[in-house]
Amino acid sequence: MDEAYEQLRNYAEKYSLHILMSNYVGELWQMTSGGKSAFWNSKGALLGNLGSNDQGLLIIEKTHTTWSISKLVSTINS
């Protein structure tokens, strides 16, 4: 997930894009996921993220030129 974070940050900055990465938590098809859903602005700044064991929603809203981030989180035990 660390490499993915770095690549997505670079894409956001290089292409002036807002990037939202959504990932699941827990096990599916005998694979454990990485979690860590996140949002980067078009300058490559990480504005919000969830942890690797956080089940929840990362809510991103834009008002005029300001981004606001809300987290609704429930942590699971691995």
Task: Report the SS3 class of residue 3.
Answer: helix
pLDDT tens track for 26-65: 777 887 778 899 999 999 999 999 988 888 888 999 998 8
**Domain containing 50: what range?**
2-75
Rounded to whole angstroms, how far apart are CA atoms 71 and 9? 20
- Are 48 and 39 in contact by the 8 Å Cβ rule? The answer is yes
Res 38: pLDDT: 94
Q: For the chain, what is the domain count? A: 1
Is residue 38 within 8 Å of residue 49, measured between CB atoms?
Answer: yes
pTM: 0.83
Residue 39 is which amino acid?
Answer: F
